[in-house]
C-alpha cells in the first residue's frame, strides 16, 4: 500500500466511503495520486472492486472543493466526459475534513498518451478534444464571471474581469522582488493597456480554464480509436474563449489538428494571432512564477517579448 495512514486515518476514509456506498462497503486499497499543492488526492478501491477518487483537505474548510464539485456537475450536465460527483462535504466541527468523492476515470494523461498512441492516435485525441472544447464553449452567459454556486460578482466588460482574475497575482509578484526591474516595468506597461488590447466582439463563454496535459485523460476504445476519456480539475469561468485556446497552446496541450477542427466552428481571427494570444499566454506564466518561483522567469521573459512586440 503506497498510502501513509498517518496522513488521513483509515477510519475517516471508511466513513466517507460508507456514506457513499453503504454500511457494508469496505476499503481494500488506497493509493496516493498526483494532486494539488494543498489537497490530498487518493484512489480508493473497495473489496467488491468498486473504485473512486477522493480529494480531501484535512482539518480545513475548503470552498475550492465545493467549487470543483459544482463545476464538475455543470460540465457533466452538458454530456462531457468529467467525473461524476458521488458526494462532497465542507469541513465543520463534526467532520473537519473537506472533501469531494468522485468517479474514477479510466485512461492515461496526455503525456503518456503521446508516447503510446502514435501520430494517428494523437490526431484522434486532438479531434475529440476539439469537439469537447467546442461543446464547452457553446455555453454562453450575459456577463463575465466565475462559475460558482450562489451569487457571484458579474462583469459586463471582459478586460475588467480579466483584471479581476489576475490583479491579485500581479500585485503579489510585483511586490515580491522575483522579477528583474526591466521585466517588471514591461509587464506593468502591458497591464495598463489591457482595456485596449483585449477588446473583442464575442460573448462570454464557459471555459474549463486549466486544460493541460495532466488534466486530459485518453485511451483507445473497443475499436482501437483513441478518445478523450476524462477532463479533470476544472476552474470554470465565463470568459473569452480565446484565453483558453492560448493557454492550451502555451502548454502544448493542442496541435494543429485540434486548431483545424476547432476553427471549423470558432474561427481564431487576426486579433488573436497577432495580439491577444501573447497577452493570454503572458499572465498564466506570471501565475506560474507566483506559484512555483524563478524557474518560470525564462519563459515569462520570452512571452513578454512577444507581447511587447504585439502591442
* 229, three cell numbers: 476519456
- Check: CB of residue 251 under 8 Å from CB of residue 210: no
First-last CA distance in the chain:
54
- So what's the pLDDT on residue 62? 85
- Separation of alpha carbons 174 and 245, rounded Å: 26
What are the residues facing 55 on neighbouring strands? 41, 100
Mean pLDDT by 10 residues, the chain (311 residues): 58 93 93 71 94 91 92 97 96 89 97 96 98 98 96 96 97 92 95 95 97 97 97 98 98 98 97 96 96 93 94 88
Three-class secondary structure of residue 99 per DSSP: strand
Cα radius of gyration rounded to whole Å, the chain: 21
Backbone φ, ψ for residue 249 (5° rounding): -65, -45
CB neighbour list of residue 227: distance below 8 Å, 6 or more residues apart: 124, 125, 128, 218, 219, 220, 221
- So what's the pLDDT on residue 38? 55
Q: Which class for 125: exposed (0-12), middle (13-18), buried (19 or more C-beta within 10 A)?
A: buried
Predicted TM-score (pTM) of this structure:
0.93
- Separation of alpha carbons 12 and 39, rounded Å: 15
- Separation of alpha carbons 42 and 44, rounded Å: 6
- So what's the pLDDT on residue 6? 43
- Separation of alpha carbons 66 and 52, rounded Å: 17
- So what's the pLDDT on residue 8? 82
CB neighbour list of residue 62: distance below 8 Å, 6 or more residues apart: 38, 39, 90, 91, 98
- So what's the pLDDT on residue 35? 54
- So what's the pLDDT on residue 4? 46
* 54, three cell numbers: 477522493
- Check: CB of residue 129 under 8 Å from CB of residue 68: no
- Check: CB of residue 213 under 8 Å from CB of residue 109: yes
Q: In what order do the strands lie in the sheet with 98-103?
A: 27-33, 40-46, 51-57, 98-103, 85-89
Amino acid at each position: 500500500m503506497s498510502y501513509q495512514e498517518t496522513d488521513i486515518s483509515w477510519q475517516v476514509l471508511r466513513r466517507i466511503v460508507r456514506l457513499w456506498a453503504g454500511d457494508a462497503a469496505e476499503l481494500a486499497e488506497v493509493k496516493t495520486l498526483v494532486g494539488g499543492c494543498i489537497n490530498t488526492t487518493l484512489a480508493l478501491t473497495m473489496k467488491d472492486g468498486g473504485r473512486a477518487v477522493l480529494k480531501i483537505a484535512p482539518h480545513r474548510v475548503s470552498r475550492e472543493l465545493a467549487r470543483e464539485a459544482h463545476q464538475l456537475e455543470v460540465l457533466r450536465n452538458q454530456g462531457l466526459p468529467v467525473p461524476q460527483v458521488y458526494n462532497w462535504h465542507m469541513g465543520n466541527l463534526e467532520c473537519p475534513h473537506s472533501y469531494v468523492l468522485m468517479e474514477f476515470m479510466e485512461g492515461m494523461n496526455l503525456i503518456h498518451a503521446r508516447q503510446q498512441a502514435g501520430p494517428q492516435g494523437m490526431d484522434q485525441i486532438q479531434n475529440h478534444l476539439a469537439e469537447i472544447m467546442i461543446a464547452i464553449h457553446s455555453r454562453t452567459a450575459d456577463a463575465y464571471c466565475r462559475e460558482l454556486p450562489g451569487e457571484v460578482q458579474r462583469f459586463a466588460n471582459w478586460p475588467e474581469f480579466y483584471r479581476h482574475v489576475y490583479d491579485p497575482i500581479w500585485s503579489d509578484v510585483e511586490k515580491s522582488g522575483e522579477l528583474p526591474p526591466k521585466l517588471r516595468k514591461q509587464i506593468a506597461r502591458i497591464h495598463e493597456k489591457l482595456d485596449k488590447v483585449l477588446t473583442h466582439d464575442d460573448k462570454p463563454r464557459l471555459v474549463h480554464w486549466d486544460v493541460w496535459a495532466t488534466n486530459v485523460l485518453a485511451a483507445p476504445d473497443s475499436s482501437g480509436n483513441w478518445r478523450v476519456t476524462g477532463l479533470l480539475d476544472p476552474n470554470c469561468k465565463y470568459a473569452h474563449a480565446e484565453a483558453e485556446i492560448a493557454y492550451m497552446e502555451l502548454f502544448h496541450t493542442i496541435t494543429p489538428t485540434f486548431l483545424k477542427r476547432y476553427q471549423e466552428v470558432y474561427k481564431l481571427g487576426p486579433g488573436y494571432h497577432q495580439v491577444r494570444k501573447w497577452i493570454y499566454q503572458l499572465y498564466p506564466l506570471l501565475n506560474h512564477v507566483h506559484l512555483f518561483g524563478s524557474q518560470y522567469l525564462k519563459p515569462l521573459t520570452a512571452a513578454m517579448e512577444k507581447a511587447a512586440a504585439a502591442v
